[in-house]
Structure 1
Amino acid sequence: MMVQLLCSNKVHVKLKHELAKYQIELDPDSDVTLVERGFDIPGDKLSVVFDAIDYMDVVKLLVSGVREDLLAWHALTGLSDNKFAVIEPRDIVFIEAGPDGLMAHTKSKPYSIKETLQYYENTWAAKGFIRINKSQLANLLHVKEIVPWFNSRYVLRMDNQTELEVSKMFSKKLRNTLNI
């Protein structure tokens, strides 16, 4: 996908960097334009107007909707025991941020992976991944049981015998997602 940017140099640099992570290229002839508030809106193109401070919301918008067709098969490369492996999203039970970086846990073993938790939260939401606390994303396809916990929280029992705690802050999103 390609987009045109009409914004300040500072925002341009930030947006270009973020969009590149999702293979969204910049093209002045694109039919889609991202326009920072205060800049002229082209009349002949689909334009998304945003405030400079909210530039990440524009990235989320593009990634969540427009890019879904291109993310249908989006495997990642993980490192375990000094060997790389190609891992499909459906094989990942949960992703966790820790002191040694990001880890993708499969049924068999954990893999060290690149990018950020936010990246996987944005790009893999449609694949069943949901943020459950500040450092973990769970793959809902691997949830065996949801146990109500005290203080409006939950514990997810995963099919690899792991128990993950859903924090109070993310419990509402889980309830809404699963209609519970």
Structure 2
Amino acid sequence: MVQLLCSNKVCEKLKQELSKYQIEVEQHSDLVLVEKGFELPTEKICIVFDAIEYMDVVKLLVSGIREEMHMTHRFTGLSDNKFAVIEPRDVRYVEAGPDGIMAYTKSNKYSIKETLQYYENVWVVKGFIRINKSQLVNLLHVKEIIPWFNSRYVLRMDNDKELEVSKMFSKKLRNTLKL
């Protein structure tokens, strides 16, 4: 449960996003999300954020809460009409396509249930990063980062698969990896 101290517009957006992860918004909580420019409450844990980057606060909360609940350690995927229990560290990348959300491991691909946004939020602490509008990549399995034209990159995975980082997500990759 969190308290919000922000503008009405940001407050509504945060409430909507937090409700997706069953995070309750209360008037009196020890944890307060404070938009820059608002006064910090005393004797409470405060997370200060820029209004334009409110989703980063949601990611931070979700990754911490999910980690505590141990829900991010394993998930199930469907392949060849059989379910498998998979560790996130075994996933090379996750892709949204015409067949739904697919998780690719070294040996197989699995159909998985949640949205790409869900996995991006929950697995950020496990080293996953969005590289374009339809793919998340596990940085643990990136072998090479190849500069590409027009401020983009190509990631060569440890299984020699090449994934393109779009211009829009290149800056985040550079900041994350200090390139």
Query: Over residues 16-52 of structure 1, what are the superposed CA-to-partner deviations in whole Å (9 max), with x where a residue is unaligned?
Result: 77546535357787544679xxxxxx998768899xx
Report the 3-state secondary structure (helix = DSSP H, G, I; strand = E; otherwise coil) of the residue aligned with 1:124. helix
Q: Corresponding residue for 2:99?
A: 100
Report the 3-state secondary structure (helix = DSSP H, G, I; strand = E; otherwise coil) of the residue aligned with 1:123. helix
Decide whether the 8 Å contact of 1:71 with 1:123 is kept in 2: no
Q: Corresponding residue for 2:122?
A: 123
Q: Which deviates further from its counterpart, 127-136 or 168-177?
A: 168-177
Give the unaligned 5+ runs of structure 2. 35-40
| TM-score scaled by length of structure 1 | 0.73
Q: Corresponding residue for 1:70?
A: 68
Q: Corresponding residue for 1:169?
A: 168
Once residues 54 and 147 of structure 1 are traced to their aligned partners in structure 2, the CA distance between those partners, rounded to angstroms, is 28
Once residues 104 and 3 of structure 1 are traced to their aligned partners in structure 2, the CA distance between those partners, rounded to angstroms, is 32
| TM-score scaled by length of structure 2 | 0.73
Structure 1 residue 155, shift from structure 2 partner: 0.8
RMSD, aligned α-carbons: 3.7
Once residues 176 and 56 of structure 2 are traced to their aligned partners in structure 1, the CA distance between those partners, rounded to angstroms, is 20
Report the 3-state secondary structure (helix = DSSP H, G, I; strand = E; otherwise coil) of the residue aligned with 2:114. coil
Q: Corresponding residue for 2:149?
A: 150
Once residues 168 and 151 of structure 1 are traced to their aligned partners in structure 2, the CA distance between those partners, rounded to angstroms, is 7
Q: Which amino acid aligns with 1:157?
A: R
What fraction of aligned residue pairs are identical, expressed as a percent? 73
Structure 1 residue 114, shift from structure 2 partner: 1.3
Matched, 1:132 2:131: yes
Report the 3-state secondary structure (helix = DSSP H, G, I; strand = E; otherwise coil) of the residue aligned with 2:159. coil
How many residues align? The count is: 177
Structure 1 residue 3, shift from structure 2 partner: 4.3
Once residues 119 and 138 of structure 1 are traced to their aligned partners in structure 2, the CA distance between those partners, rounded to angstroms, is 14
Matched, 1:81 2:80: yes
Once residues 176 and 14 of structure 1 are traced to their aligned partners in structure 2, the CA distance between those partners, rounded to angstroms, is 26
Q: Which amino acid aligns with 1:158?
A: M
Q: Which amino acid aligns with 2:132?
A: N
Give the unaligned 5+ runs of structure 1. 36-41
Once residues 60 and 93 of structure 1 are traced to their aligned partners in structure 2, the CA distance between those partners, rounded to angstroms, is 21
Once residues 12 and 171 of structure 1 are traced to their aligned partners in structure 2, the CA distance between those partners, rounded to angstroms, is 29
